[in-house]
Amino acid sequence: MLRAATVTVIGAGVVTGTGAGIMRALNSHDGQPGSRLQLQSGDGSKVGILERDLRTLGLASTGSGTWQTPALDTSQVTMVGFTWRDGVRAPKILVRFRTRGGWSLWRPASLLRDLPDPASGEGIGKAGTAPVVVQPYSEPADGVQVHVTGQVPPELSITLLHAERLAGDARIAADASRSSVRTLRAAGPPMPTIYTRAQWGANESWRDGSPRYNSTILQAHVHHSASGNGYAQADVPALIRSFYKYHTKSLGWSDIAYNFLVDSFGTIWEGRYGGVDRPVRGAHTLGFNASSTGFCVIGNLDSVQPTSATLDSLARLASWKLAMYGRDPQGVTQVKSEGSDKFPNGRVVTLPVIDGHRDTNDTACPGGNLYAQLGNLRAAAAGAIAASTLKLKKPYAVDGKTILGKTLTVIDGKFKPRGAAVTYQWMRDNVAITGATGPTYVVDVPDVGTVLSVVVTGSVPGVAPISQGVALPVPCRSIPVVTLRTQRKPGRKVIVHVEVAAPGVAAADGQVLVMLGTRQRTIQVKNGKAIARFVGVDPGHWKVRCKYSRGTVIRPGKASDWVRVPGRGPLARG
């Protein structure tokens, strides 16, 4: 039985209302439906998607700056999002769903501020909304209708999504103890159970294959998905798969935006690919992704209170993640903005170590009810860290250059108590290097082209060890051996042969600048070789020099030689 609801008609059949539950009422102004919009997965993922420009779906003016589509018949839909060309004023968008023959209330699609930074290259050129989810999620819609207020931006499109339940979705809780993420970094606060990307069914072909890493973590940003509530525990993997497809296929991002997601049942899910124990750069907080991690609570926390299970999991996740970097959950930190709608690029801002998305961007995220709990969340996370008698008092760092033959040295860190035993394990592309267990490491030939890191572990008897990982910022580079050979040809021609070889590199690339007197040529190196040709060289004894640079994993180098060009007249010497 429906409770009373207040209904307002806006333009041609746009209904808003208040009241408990979802209103089931057909609107006589729906318009004539066109052909059914059919979602397709196309990749075997069972995540159907369809993206269409709203103008092609009958979006028409209803007067006074409002626009509306007719009722659109669809195959099963559980989520929608909207995108348009970036750089223009965002419209206000309402959407409603038809389920079991009746229409829901109109629901707003909130402007998406969970964004990558401009310099990241992710999704440049598109703006959009947070996804809106059918409520309850277990009842997919077979129709949608869209209402727009304001100027319709170029390329305004709707993305329709529906992720089918997979056979294992309902069994995840039983499997978690066997297959959840485990890591070398067993921080003082115990690592919570984190369900893997494989467990929620990530199709790894959707991401671009190249996770980005920050040098450290200064903050944890708390978000909500703003997508809606009313989902069951077994629905969560499908929800995350839909978020993932919307972020990668519609918005053009490299992966799902968030580092971690937490549902209303307290389950923690691995988000962006790259390792839960590593400082993976997300796309969740415009201007502040470069030194943070992002936690997203699935749901709309303006509409409901966060559950105690959600808050407990957030506290456990925050304490574990922040303890790796020696951060105080109740403290503040100074962060340089990379440009948000609240703080311009370059401004240094003082922010809480655990903050809400609205602290850095012009948004209501993470919802008023969750934002009001951040003080309690900070206290709970700090309490979990304080409960450990072993602490990382000062984070470790690595000094040295990632160049073949150079020495890397672990410096600056400190565990508490002072007598904690400290061990080291050097890693090559996250795989332990046999025998590399000291505070120093000499870059070797097998390291060329790989990323080195070191895991520093402190331990005292009877207490779980604490491990901090320090990754070097750039891949290891080799030292070139540059060989230059000159060849004199009739007619005052000189041919310069350059060969570049480097230990650990099969075929050198890059470029060489070849100079003969005041003349020069820039030649690309292919398979370790380059040839420069000079014609009309004056008679004389000439020094030929070359400078090698821009090798992918090879340092710059140089070489020189002399060539004699015979001829009449005074001889030049250069």
Q: How many CB atoms lie within 10 A of CB 62?
A: 17
Question: Taking the domains of the chain in order of start, what are their residue ranges?
Answer: 6-163, 169-391, 394-471, 481-573
Homologous superfamily of the 169-391 domain (CATH): Peptidoglycan recognition protein-like (3.40.80.10)
Going 211 to 217 to 221 to 222, the CA torsion angle's sign is: positive
Q: Among 1.10.3720.10, 2.60.40.10, 2.40.37.10, 2.40.30.10, what is the CATH number of 481-573?
A: 2.60.40.10
Residue 557 has pLDDT above 80, yes or no: yes
CB contact burial 474-509 (16+ within 10 A = b; e otherwise): eebbbbbebebebeeeeeeebebebbbebebbeebb
**How do residues 224-250 score in pLDDT, each as one tens digit?**
999 999 899 999 999 999 999 999 999
* Mean pLDDT, rounded, for 479-483: 96
Query: Mean pLDDT throughout 480-504?
Result: 94
| CA proximity to 154, closest of 189, 127, 134 | 127
- Distance, CA of 184 to CA of 401 (rounded, Å): 25
Neighbours of 3 (CB within 10 A): 8
Question: Per residue in 363-376, pLDDT tens?
Answer: 999 999 999 999 99
Provide the residue type at 503 as one letter. P
Q: Does domain 394-471 have CATH number 2.60.40.2700?
A: yes
> pLDDT-based confidence at 383, cuts 50/70/90?
confident
**CA–CA separation, 367 and 260 (whole Å):** 17
Mean pLDDT taken over the chain = 88
Give the pLDDT score at 189.
76
Residue 187: CB atoms within 10 A of its CB come to 26
238-273: b (≥16 Cβ within 10 Å) or e: bbbbbbbbbbbbbbbbbbbbbbbbbbbebbbbbbbb
pLDDT 10s digits, 403-429: 999 999 999 899 987 888 999 999 999
Determine the CATH number of domain 6-163: 2.60.120
Q: Tens digits of per-residue pLDDT, 337-351?
A: 999 989 999 999 999
Helix (H, G, I), strand (E, B) or coil at 128: strand
Domains 394-471 and 481-573 share a fold: yes
Q: What is the pLDDT of residue 26?
A: 31
Band of residue 116 on the pLDDT scale cut at 50, 70, 90: confident
Amino acid letter for position 256: I
